[in-house]
Each structure stands twice: as C-alpha cells, then as structure tokens.
C-alpha cells in the first residue's frame, strides 16, 4: 500500500490550503516574471517567477509565436493543485519546456493573463480566471466517474479481471491511469483477495476526497 499512498501524497498536501477562491480581483500584473531561456537539457523552457508576497496556486498563460502568420494565441492552464505540487512560494519559480505547451511552432511569447493565489485573490479577466475552475471541475468529474466504477466493483466483489474490463475502454485520464497502474501492481505483488479489496477501497476513498476538494473551489 505504500506505493499507492505515495502516489496521492503530493496531491493531498496541496489540498490543505483554503478552498474558497475569487473574493477579490488583483489590480495589476506586475507580480510575475516570465522568461524563455535554455533549460537544463538545452531545450528552450519557460520560467515563471512569483514576484508577489504570497504563494501562487495557478496561472493561465497566453502563448503565441511570431512565426505564426495570423499571430494566433492560445491559453494554457498550470495548476499546482492538479499537478500534485505545492503552490509557488514568493520569489520561487516554475520551469516548463516549451514543448509542453503543445503549440506549433514553439511559442516565443508567453504571458500570464490570469492567476489565483492561495488566499483566494485573483488576477485577470473573469473569463480567463474561470478557465482554472473549468479545468478543476473536469478533473473532479474524472475522479467521480472512476469512483462510481470502483464502488460498483466493491459492492459486487469484482475480481481483478472484472475491474480491468470495466476500465479497459475508459478515456486515458489521470484517474483511469491510476486505477490501471494499481491493477497491474496488485497482480505483480500477488495480493490476496483481502489485500486487493483494500487497495480498491483505498483508491475509492482518495478519489472521493480529491473530487470533493476540487468541487469546493468555487467563485464567490
């Protein structure tokens, strides 16, 4: 069970911060520094530095490339809550390879257009800040869908094969991947029926807790 507990440790740590977001709007955007520079592996990377005086939960990036004829731009959300990281502390930074932005050609213009701090303050237009909530709601739905199947399996005392069949054709999201990985690990560990049931119950409980926390994050 230690391997499964470790898989949720970072997320559970991130969920202890206040859940009520959006009580007021930040007036300016000078609380961030965004730089494009070579990463540790020589690939171009984007580095975001939190210049504010408090931890930063999530941001919405607007990315574009000067090589794009129509100067098309797209929005990308980075959320510590969803990635299992602690918020970005004041003065600290986050670095991501440009390739992770899934934008072609590689972006050479990146700016923060919305953000949420751990005390609930926001920056940016409501429509942009709402992107963070929308992504969290989608992730909560994934946990809830997986939890329904896990609860069904526990109620009907499914075998490992039955769980595998139930999750075989499900979308490859984080919750489904976690269950598939757990099923593979329980087979390799040759768990007893009691141990296997305990593992499935562990996943169900964590999915329920995670979805509940994500659903608590609503605008005021």
Mean of per-residue pLDDT scores for the chain: 82
pLDDT band at 43 (very low <50, low <70, confident <90, very high): confident
- Mean pLDDT (whole number) for 145-151: 97
Q: Please give the model's pTM, rounded to 2 decimal places.
A: 0.66
Residue 13: band (very low, low, confident or very high) from pLDDT cuts 50, 70, 90: very low
CA angle, 190 then 196 then 201, to 5°: 155
Position 55 pLDDT exceeds 90: yes
Domains and CATH numbers, the chain: 2-16+132-216 (no CATH), 32-124 (2.60.40)
Burial string for 168-198 (b: 16+ CB within 10 Å, else e) reads: eebeeebbbebbbebbeebeeeebeeeebee
> Looking at the predicted structure, is the pLDDT value of residue 16 above 60?
no
pLDDT at 216 over 80: no
Tens digit of pLDDT for each residue in 61-76?
998 888 776 668 889 8
Q: What pLDDT was estimated at residue 122?
A: 84
pLDDT in tens, 106-128: 787 889 999 988 887 888 999 99
């Amino acid at each position: 069970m230690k391997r499964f507990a470790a898989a949720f440790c970072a997320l559970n740590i991130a969920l202890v911060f206040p859940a009520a977001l959006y009580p007021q709007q930040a007036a300016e955007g000078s609380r961030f520094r965004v730089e494009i520079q070579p990463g540790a592996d020589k690939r171009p990377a984007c580095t975001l530095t939190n210049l504010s005086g408090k931890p930063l939960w999530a941001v919405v990036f607007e990315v574009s490339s000067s090589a794009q004829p129509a100067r098309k731009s797209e929005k990308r959300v980075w959320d510590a809550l969803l990635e299992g990281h602690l918020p970005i502390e004041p003065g600290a930074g986050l670095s991501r390879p440009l390739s992770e932005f899934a934008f072609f050609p590689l972006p050479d213009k990146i700016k923060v257009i919305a953000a949420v701090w751990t005390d609930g303050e926001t920056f940016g237009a409501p429509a942009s800040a709402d992107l963070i909530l929308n992504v969290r709601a989608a992730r909560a739905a994934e946990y809830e869908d997986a939890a329904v199947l896990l609860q069904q399996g526990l109620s009907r005392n499914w075998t490992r094969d039955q769980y595998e069949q139930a999750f075989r054709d499900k979308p490859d999201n984080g919750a489904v991947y976690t269950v598939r990985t757990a099923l593979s690990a329980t087979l390799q560990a040759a768990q007893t029926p009691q141990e296997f049931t305990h593992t499935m119950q562990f996943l169900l409980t964590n999915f329920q807790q995670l979805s509940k926390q994500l659903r608590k994050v609503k605008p005021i």
